[in-house]
Every structure is written in C-alpha cells, then in structure tokens.
Amino acid sequence: MKGPLPHDLGWICRRILMLYRHQKGFTLIELLASVCILALLLSFTMTGFVSNLRSNLDTQIHYESIQAAQSVLDDLRFQDISTLSGQLLSTVNIGNRFYTVSATYCEKPEFCISDEIRHISIRVGYNGKTVYETDTVYTKL
C-alpha cells in the first residue's frame, strides 16, 4: 500500500499547506465571507452599544428630573405655607436640559386641614413627557 492512509490527519494538513503555500493572496469569495462575518459581528455589537447609550440617557434624565424637583421644593421651603395655593409652573435648567416643574398645592384636601399644612404634588416633565412625580406635605414650624 503506497502513500498515507486517508484518515491520517497530519498528511491532510500538510497537503492543504502545500496547496496554499504557492498562493499570494485571498480570493474574492474569501474576502466577501470575511466582510460578511465582520459586518454581522459589528451589527450585534452596535445594537448593544446603542441600547446601552439609550439606557444611560434615560437614567441621566431621571436623575436630573429629581434634581429639578428638589430645587423647586427647596425654594418653596422658604415661603409662608399659608400663601401656597393653586399651581406653580417653573422651568429649571439642569445639565443643559430644561425641565418643566409643576407644583400643585392641596391636591389631596385631607392633608390641607389648616393654614399650617400643605400637601404638594410635584410633576417634572421633559420634552412633553412626565419623567418624575413625587408628593410631600409641608408643615409650618
């Protein structure tokens, strides 16, 4: 029996290397396959990257809306609570974004039983959409 056995893996590898040793480049099919694989990998990576960027932006907007609400509540602390009634609209700039803050007084009348107690509801909007809401009760000290 001449030559190696067909199941000899070393012989097969050496034969393939000898065939490719004389070639000086890649074929068009090999290049197209490489580009397709690269494009597929990049599409999966970019989808995750864009999703992560969107999540980070949403988290930042939520955090800044909390800061906007806190800013308005801090300003209200220095006012006489017996004068607080109706609704207050204000625009707050945080992180180069403008948030619309709406403060509504005595939305729940059971908390506004005297001039020394005020229920305050805060709603913070960004781009026409409510991104944060909170309630608190102020009392006169």
What's the pLDDT tens digit per position in 95-132? 899 999 999 988 877 877 877 888 889 999 999 999 99
In the prediction, which pLDDT does 72 show? 92
Q: In which domain, by residue range, is 13 found?
A: 9-139
Query: Quick check: is 4 in a domain?
Result: no
Please tell me the predicted confidence (pLDDT) of residue 140.
73
Domain count, the chain: 1
CA distance 122 to 74: 12
Q: Average of pLDDT values for 11-20?
A: 71
- Whether 114 is covered by a domain: the verdict is yes
Residue 3 within any structural domain of the chain: no
Residue 118 lies in a domain: yes
In-domain check, residue 1: no
Predicted confidence band of residue 9 (pLDDT cuts 50, 70, 90) = low
C-alpha closest to that of 100 among 76, 68, 75, 67: 68
Q: How far apart are CA 41 and CA 19, in angstroms?
A: 30
- Report yes or no: 126 and 99 within 8 Å, Cβ to Cβ: yes
| 138 DSSP β-pair partners | 118
What are the backbone dihedrals phi and psi of residue 22, each rounded to the nearest 5 degrees, phi first? Answer: -90, -5
pTM for this entry? 0.66
4 pLDDT higher than 70: no
**Is the confidence at residue 8, as pLDDT, over 70?**
no
Residue 94 falls inside a structural domain: yes
Residue 111 within any structural domain of the chain:
yes
**More confident call, 22 vs 49:** 49
Task: Give the pLDDT confidence of 25-76 residue by residue, as tens digits.
Answer: 678 888 898 899 999 999 888 988 999 999 999 999 999 999 999 999 998 8
Question: Can you give the CATH number for the domain in which 104 is found?
Answer: 3.30.1300.30
The structure tokens 């506004």 sit at: 112
Distance CA 133, CA 62 (A): 10
Measure Cα distances from 116 to 77, 122, 141 in Å. Answer: 13, 19, 8
Tokens of 2: 């001449």
The pLDDT value given to residue 36: 93
